[in-house]
Each structure stands twice: as structure tokens, then as C-alpha cells.
Amino acid sequence: MTGFRLSLAVLTLATATALYAPAAPSLAQDADTEITAISERLLFVVSGGYWEELPEEEAEATSGESAAAPAPSEESETEEPAETVAPADDAAEPAAPKQDTTELDTTEPARRGYYRLVALRAADNSSRVYLQQMALGDGGPTVEMTTEIGEFSAEPAYVTNIVQEGSGQAGFSAFVYAKSDPSLPEPDTWTVFVDEFGELTVEKATN
């Protein structure tokens, strides 16, 4: 009878622990939180291209290697170093122990990332277009810089589509289709281009 009561007590304790133990967050809950955090005014977003920023020391070394080395003078080619003979000692001194000259590599790794082009709906229903430079790190991508493209905010623009143009080279390129009036049948085509140095160029296609 005592054994039955002990088993019943253990079972009751286990049930209470299971009921009141906090539930571990699931991956589905995390994904749901991330998707609901996206702005309701988001119209389009495309990501692509890439950028790379070398450490300052490595960049200077790379630019130094591209410079031509000075040509040796004729004197340095013809002259031969004179031989020097060290006097013989009666008792040779023991060689000094070698010192460890190994240095720790303190060079910072290159910073890399990609670009993201975002179109948002403004309060007046026109569109705002932003270019974001995204940095890649151990904790995931982070926003390095955000630039509003003024060509789409100087006058009312209504973005109807964004198509990225992949080139496989450093930088970013995309076509933005936007109307100056929602009632127009066809949108205008804009080219958003970032070169390998990070310079932004925005041009409207001419028909």
C-alpha cells in the first residue's frame, strides 16, 4: 500500500511539472514573428549584387604591388660585394639560441555584403525607393547604410515592379518600373546602378 502511494505521488508531481513548465519557442513561432514585423507599406524588395571592403593595410599593400619597382642601376649590376673573412678564433663561441619571431596575425578580415532595393508606399500612396547596403557577419545580415533615391521622391512616383539585373560582378543593377500617374497605361523604366566602387547612378530610360 505504501508503494502504491509513493508511485501515485511521483506521477502527480511529474504531471504538475509538465503542466507548468514553460514551453520552448518553436521555429514556426520565430518565423511568424519575423514575417509580421515587416512593414505593411512594403511594395517590393530585391536583393543581389555584392560589395567587398578590404582592410586598410591589405588595400595599401595591393596598391603598392601594382606600382613598378625601380630599375637597378648599372653600378649595382657591375659591382660585386667584397668578400670579408672573419678572423679565426681559438675558441668558437656557442651559437645563440634562436628567438621565436612568430607574430600573431592581427589582420582584420575583409568586410563583405550585398545590396537591397526597397520600395515602400508613402502616406499619399506614392512610392519611396531606398537602396540599402547589407553587411554579412556571424550574426547574420545587418543594414550598413540606407540611402533614399531622390529621383523617385522629387516628383510623385508609383512603382509597379522592380527587376534585378544580375551581372556576376561587384556592384548592383536593377530596373525600376514606375508611373508618374497611376492612370497611365505604361510605366517609365529607371535604371539603378551601383559600380564596383559603390557609386550610385540612377537614370530614366528614354523612349
Q: Which residues contact 54 (CB under 8 A, 6 or more apart)?
A: 62, 110
To 10 degrees, the CA torsion angle through 168, 169, 171, 175? -50
pLDDT, position 121: 96
Q: Distance between the two ends of the chain, CA-based, in angstroms? A: 95
Give the three cell numbers for residue 168.
Answer: 556576376
In order of their start, the domains of the chain are 40-52+108-207 (2.40.128)
Q: How far apart are CA 205 and CA 165, in angstroms?
A: 15
Locate cell 508609383: which residue? 158
Residue 43, classified by CB atoms within 10 Å of its CB into exposed (0-12), middle (13-18) or buried (19+), is middle
Whether this model's pTM surpasses 0.75 = no
pLDDT, position 6: 46
pLDDT tens-digit profile, the chain (207 residues): 555 454 544 444 444 444 444 555 555 566 567 777 888 999 999 999 999 988 775 555 555 555 555 555 555 455 555 555 555 555 555 566 666 555 655 567 788 999 999 999 999 999 999 999 999 998 899 999 999 999 999 989 999 999 998 878 899 999 999 999 999 999 999 999 999 999 999 999 876
pLDDT, position 15: 47
pLDDT, position 206: 79
The answer to whether 133 and 111 have CB atoms below 8 angstroms apart is no
Strands 142-148 and 158-164: unpaired
